Amino acid sequence: MNGNGIPVTRRQFSLESARQAAYSGQFSNAVQSYLIVLPSLSPEQRQSCLAEFLETIRLWVLQDESHVLVLSQLVSNILQLFPSNEDVYFALLHFLSKSADKSVLSSALSLCDSALCHFPPSSTSRCVFRICRENLRYSAFDQWHIRMINDEVRNKYFEEAMKRMIRADDVVMDIGAGTGLLSVIAARYTSRVISVEENAVLCRICEEVTRKNGVEGKIEVACQNSKDIDVSKYPKATVIVAELLDCCVFGEDVVGTLLDAHNRLTEEKAQFIPQAAEVCVQLLESAEIYSFHSLECDGHFMSQCASTSEDSTDPYSCVDLADHRNYRFLSLSHSVTSIDFSSRDDLNRFKSNRVNGELSITADKSGTLHAFSVHFRARMCDELVMDSSEGTVWDRGIFPLQRPMQIEEGQTVRVQWKVRDNKLRLQMISSMTSPDSRFISSDVLDLNTNRPLLDSLLSEIPEDSSFYNMSNFILPLFRRYIIYFCSLEIAP
């Protein structure tokens, strides 16, 4: 292997050998030859070879997706050969941005940072790379991370729980550490914190956050999924901090992750933050939210969230009620089920996919029932309980009915629920289920939901000879052919 990570064979390297390898489709050998020969050339000679070199890299990357990862490790070598060359920066960024690998994405971000240092503030290229960097940052991780770390209510609950539970000699493992905020808080109370985060970009941010907070000596960042941790490399944790709760508790594999922590990563009597969670449900009236899941178009179509099939991949949607008007709760909050994260037995019970039940919810108001709204209460420690419905970043889990239902005050609604494959599944036990409903993906429903916006935008397009407004032709076709798209995605 050479210093660039490409295998070296005993042969003579030259521009001719590089070109011959590229011509015969041996692009790995060609890239290797170029990287060995180009440093010996003058800047003028290198520049004359630049176009063929970049074309060889392009073909090499297209040949095998894994080559992008190797390219990400060669970026600094290539930039040394062509310092401050705009074409090289743009070409490398183009190649790297095609990969979904988070470590490659991290290299692309570093490339943008380097470009911003090399190009003058007034240059167009600097402006373009600034935009590219922001686009990459937004694609690097789910943007709810930003909302989450700015949630003061959530952060204070976790801080108070850690203050009460962590001792100076504890080993704390923060699973799903993200940007490292909770790890930094934990480092106030102990000198040994292991931050576990599988997203390479978030790991990079986590390391920077720990450094800027002056606790890098207390925190070790493990850039991997906690299930892949080599237990021989880290001490057993005495406290697990794991903020892995989605709006319906189970959606981020909290059960499997914490069960693995119990089995491999912790001391026998380790403590968990949060300790437990209770899932709660309310009756919800909201024609607006229901409309996002329902479509009348030569038949009744519903999103997968309303399907009674156990194979539905999207049994609920996540909704911030603050974004909607004219919604009402038609009942108080009722407990569905609870789980003890400190109990290996309880985690195994939920892992079995056999946890289910029924409950009755009594309406305390008359109205139109459109959906069930789910939130949770997490017991952080002792009597410290955080309710996700009280000013936190968590959305509500929405389980729409197949058809709206008129209910009266005092009427009882029976609900069946189960936890399967890391998803809460909940539906009404009633003859109101609609046998004529057909189920389609949320993407198709979004076409219908976004149509008013499309109408508004297209209404501003002038109809003249240079730009003809096709909306009068397109929109009727949309209504005519959406039934075709729907028919392709009907679930049994």
Q: Does 159 lie in the same domain as 236?
A: yes
- CA–CA gap between residue 182 and residue 149 (Å, rounded): 9
Q: What is the pLDDT of residue 438?
A: 59
Q: What is the CATH number of the domain that holds 202?
A: 3.40.50.150
Q: What is the pLDDT of residue 165?
A: 98
Within a domain: residue 419?
Answer: yes
Please say whether the beta carbons of 301 and 440 come within 8 A.
Answer: yes
Among candidate residues 109, 126, 141, the one where a domain is terminated: 141
Range of the domain at 299: 277-440
Q: What is the pLDDT of residue 98?
A: 72
Q: Please state the domain count of the chain.
A: 4
Q: Does 391 lie in the same domain as 297?
A: yes
Helix 66-81, helix 102-118: angle, nearest 10: 20
Q: What is the CATH number of the domain that holds 422?
A: 2.70.160.11
Neighbouring-strand partners of residue 362: 412
Q: Does 317 lie in the same domain as 395?
A: yes
Within a domain: residue 483?
Answer: no
Q: What is the pLDDT of residue 491?
A: 38
Opening angle at CA 418, ends 412 and 421, nearest 5: 155
Amino acid occupying residue 26: Q
Opening angle at CA 187, ends 105 and 159, nearest 5: 95
Within a domain: residue 269?
Answer: no
Q: What is the pLDDT of residue 402?
A: 85
Q: Does 342 lie in the same domain as 457?
A: no
Q: Does 179 lie in the same domain as 214?
A: yes
Q: Does 344 lie in the same domain as 239?
A: no
Within a domain: residue 4?
Answer: no
Q: Does 304 lie in the same domain as 234?
A: no
Enumerate residue ranges in the chain where pLDDT < 70.
1-12, 100, 102, 140, 295-312, 431-492
Q: What is the pLDDT of residue 311?
A: 65
Within a domain: residue 379?
Answer: yes
Among candidate residues 113, 141, 169, the one where a domain is terminated: 141
Among candidate residues 90, 112, 141, the one where a domain is terminated: 141
Q: Does 405 lie in the same domain as 331?
A: yes
Within a domain: residue 271?
Answer: no
Task: Tell me how far apart the terminal alpha carbons of the chain are, to the nearest angstrom.
Answer: 54
Q: What is the pLDDT of residue 121?
A: 79
Q: Does 307 lie in the same domain as 386?
A: yes
Q: Does 236 lie in the same domain as 106?
A: no
Q: In a 10 Å sphere around its CB, with 0-12 CB exposed, 13-18 middle and 19+ buried, how is residue 387 labelled? A: middle
Q: Does 134 lie in the same domain as 22?
A: yes
Q: What is the CATH number of the domain that holds 34?
A: 1.25.40
Within a domain: residue 122?
Answer: yes
Q: What is the pLDDT of residue 360?
A: 96
Within a domain: residue 78?
Answer: yes
The 10s digit of each residue's pLDDT in 144-184 is: 778 888 899 999 999 999 999 999 999 999 999 999 999 99
Q: Does 421 lie in the same domain as 290?
A: yes
